[in-house]
Amino acid sequence: MVILSSPSGVGKTTLTKKIQQKYRSFKISVSHTTRLPRSNEIDGVDYHFVTNKKFNEYVKKDKFYEYAKIFENYYGTLKKNVDDTIKTNDIIFDIDWQGTKKLSKYENLNLIKIFLITDNKEELKKRLIKRNQNSNKELEQRLNSFDEDIKHWKDYDYVLVNKNLEICFKQIETIILNSKNMEF
């Protein structure tokens, strides 16, 4: 199981999808969220979009390996989805540091934890503006969370600076192959 975490806008979702496309043994863990879908997102593919009520039912029934509140919405990883997937595939998680902390408590999960970062906060701002997916308020929230996010890099096995997507992808491939001594 591979975890990719980063502040918003560093490229973890893009890299997660690249790994899954190249290595068919990897399946992306699709989180549940209470936020509304973006115009390019598909329910069940990008996220499982649920109501706050449904999400809270899952929490009360201890259905999540991890969940967190991020930018006023909840995100969580269902135990059943992970347990079913791991029987036949490797899993890659696209989650934040809060989720990583919670997943790390489960000793039965063999995790490779990778934290991605940009050169600096200014580069992050450029990327967030360029992707054009957030309101000004959301953009400000994401930039403000950067300082908190990077405090948690030490909870990871590897920290990579994503200056170039292809180079960063190759670094992740090397980590996965070396960590698991795998052949794809």
CA 144 to chain centre: 19
Structural domain including 16 reads 2-180
183 has pLDDT over 60: no
180 has pLDDT over 80: no
184 has pLDDT over 50: no
- Residue owning tokens 């970062």: 117
**C-alpha span between 13 and 90 (Å, rounded):** 17
Domain total for the chain?
A: 1
With a pLDDT cut of 70, the percent of the chain lying above it is 96
Dihedral sign computed on CA atoms, order 81, 82, 84, 90? positive
Tell me which of 37-51, 98-112, 123-137, 153-167 is least confident.
123-137
21 has pLDDT over 90: yes
pLDDT value at residue 137: 78
pLDDT in tens, 54-65: 999 999 999 999
Tell me which of 85-94, 137-146, 171-180 is least confident.
137-146
pLDDT value at residue 140: 79
E strands, 81-145, in order? 90-94, 112-117
pLDDT value at residue 37: 94
135-160 mean pLDDT: 85
19-32 mean pLDDT: 94
Of 179, 154, 135, 167, which Cα lies nearest the Cα of 5? 154
Tell me which of 4-8, 80-84, 153-157, 177-181 is least confident.
177-181
pLDDT value at residue 93: 95
Burial class (CB in 10 A: 0-12, 13-18, 19+), 44: exposed
The CATH number of whichever domain residue 161 belongs to comes to 3.40.50.300
